[in-house]
Structures are given as C-alpha cells and as structure tokens.
Amino acid sequence: MKQNTLQGNSKVYNSQADIYEEFVDAEDYSKKILKFLKPKIENKIVLDVGCVNGKFASEMAHLSSKYIGIDISEAQINKAKVKTAENKNVKLICCSATNLPLPSESVDIVISLWAVSVIRGRRNKRKVLKEMERVLKKDGEIYLVENDFSGDFEIMRGHPIRTKKYHKWLEKNGFKSKKMVTYFNFKSFEDAKRIFHAIWKGRVSNKVKNKVINHNIVLFSKKKSFK
C-alpha cells in the first residue's frame, strides 16, 4: 500500500499540487532559510534538488549567476516555471535526483530543502548524495535543509526516531549541522487543518491547534569530497 507522504508519488504532490503549494507557501514564513542561503549563492551556479513549486526560485535566480531547479513532479515544475517566467538565468528540469542530467563539476552550490529525507531507501539516498557531489565543482558545497527530530512539527508527524537516525547517517557521511527555528503561518486555522489532513490525514491534522506552527529545522552542509 502506498503511504500518504510528500514523496514523488504522492497524490498531493502531483495531481493536487495546489494543496501542496499552500503548504509550501506557509512553510518558513519568515524566510530564515533564504536569508541563510543568500550569501552562499551570490554570483554562483546553483542547483536546487527538489525545487518543488519554486517558492524561492525567483529570488535565488536574482542572486545567482544561474539557477537550475530539478524536481520529480511535472506539476511542481510547471508551477516553478510560472514563478520564474521573467528570470532569464533559470533552467527547470523534471527528473529523478538519482540521475542528474548535468555534467560533472558544473555547479558551485547544491541546495535541497526537505527532499533527501523523503527519498525511499538508504541506497537511493546515497545515490542522490553521490550525484550531488559529482556535479559539484572543486570546493563546491552541499546544503540540505531537514526537520529537527526534536521539533514540534516532526513530533506531530510521529517520525522523531526515524529522523534522528537519518541525521546520524548524514553526519556519518561527512555533513555538519546547524539548528534553526522558523515557523509555518497558514492563512487560517481551518486552512492549516485542511492542508495537514490532505497530506497526512487525521493522525496529524488532529494535532493542529493554531494557524502558526513552530518548525525546528537543521541545516546540513558538506564540502565536496575528492576521496
């Protein structure tokens, strides 16, 4: 049976992409992640793995010399194309992150927001990380944004133990971590309940008590390895 998650085959992520767009728009409402990434991507060739609907794509494109966004969902890529229609230095590709259609050592920075963690299986996760390193130039860096296992959002979802193991796995693979606190801000409490129910059903939506939800995250970073 397929799980109702935000993974590539998720109904909400594809045929109901408008609902997921509401979720993404509410996520990191203070744009703390973008503020952190801005000095890292300035005048750089940036690859965004799992770019979803292009929430930050246009702003990143203005800062970077070139922005490349990839996502497994055609519905999400189409939304990102609308958001970046006026940006001439943007390339958007619908593909799997396990086989990036880019030359080796062709990008300066790889970023990935909540994407690697939802890829099924450690073997596929490892393939994605290797592909990220392959396309990076010398001294390039990877930045992953993931949920903090001790945060309100991850506890609501019921995945803290699994997420903690995933974090340890990233650290064993050479990633350094930095914690940050941000929040979701939905248009209303009713919208928050509706959107969470569409994605995770009642087991999570029943825990929603406010339109604002604290969101503890972890920023993982790693410079290219030449081993």
- In the chain, the percentage of residues whose pLDDT exceeds 90 is 86
Q: Are 139 and 33 in contact (CB under 8 A)?
A: no
Per the CB < 8 A criterion, the answer to whether 116 and 95 are in contact is no
What is residue 114's predicted lDDT score, i.e. its pLDDT? 94
Q: Which pTM does this prediction carry? A: 0.92
Cα separations (Å) of 55 from 4, 26, 102, 172?
Answer: 23, 10, 23, 30
Which pLDDT score, from 0 to 100, does residue 11 have? 66
What is the dihedral angle through the alpha carbons of 189, 9, 113, 86, rounded to the nearest 10 degrees? Answer: -90
Longest CA span, the chain? 51
- Supply the pLDDT for residue 6: 42
Q: What is the mean pLDDT of residues 68-94?
A: 95
Which pLDDT band holds residue 1 (cuts at 50, 70, 90)?
very low
Q: 192: which residues sit within 8 A by CB, 6+ positions away? A: 26, 184, 186, 208, 210, 211, 213
Average pLDDT over residues 108-124: 94
User: Residue 213 above 60 pLDDT?
Assistant: yes
The C-alpha atoms of residue 212 and residue 89 are separated, in whole angstroms, by 35
| Confidence at residue 224, expressed as pLDDT on a 0 to 100 scale | 85
pLDDT band at 59 (very low <50, low <70, confident <90, very high): very high
Residues with Cβ < 8 Å from 109, sequence gap 6 or more?
40, 41, 44, 45, 46, 47, 64, 140, 141, 142, 143
Helix (H) or strand (E) holding 184: strand 176-185
The pLDDT assigned to 185 comes to: 98
Residue 225 — pLDDT band, cuts 50, 70, 90? low
Q: How far is CA 14 from CA 29, 122, 221, in A?
A: 23, 24, 29
Is the pLDDT at 207 greater than 70? The verdict is yes
- Per DSSP, helices labelled H in 99-210 are 122-135, 152-157, 160-172, 189-200, 202-205
Band (3; pLDDT cuts 50, 70, 90): very low
Across the range 141-151, mean pLDDT stands at 95
